[in-house]
Copies of this chain bind each other. A is one copy, B any other.
Amino acid sequence: MFELHPTLEKDSIPVTETDGLLIRLINDARFPWLLIVPKVDGATELHDLTDHEYAAVMAMARSLGKVLKHAFDADKINTAAIGNMVPQLHIHVVARTRGDDAWPGPVWGAGTMVPMSDDEAARRIGLVRSALG
């Protein structure tokens, strides 16, 4: 029985759910930052997924990268599966802009998350949902 890890639940907002994947928005005003969480109980590594599950995750990672790049006029997309702190498998897709709060370093471990206003969260979610179609 799959349950979202409480840290991911706390740090992010649901965007959509499709093909066995939860898509969530990290609640951080500093960066447009999405998570893909495959609903696979116990998965921690990409190689824990079946071929079908892996293909779904990777197709979504690429789509979300393209969506974020255009919707947020990003200079670079950062895509990563890290999971040193939260073992439940989750894939980050982050829109980066030259001069953003962590540039050119990675966002993971960079400073403190800055919660978004409800309006900004709704705006970001709307952009992603409409781009995904």
Contacts and interface: CB of A to CB of B under 8 A. Distances in A.
7 A-B pairs with the lowest CB-CB distances in the bound complex, closest first: A80-B80, A84-B104, A47-B66, A105-B109, A58-B58, A79-B81, A106-B108
A96 B79 contact: no
Contacts of A1: none
A103 to B, nearest CB: 7
A47 B67 CA distance: 10
A78 B82 contact: yes
Interface size range of chain A in the complex: 20 to 34
A125 B2 CA distance: 38
**A45, A61, A65 — which one has the most chain B CB atoms within 10 A of its CB?**
A45
Interface string A82-109: 1111010000000010000001111011
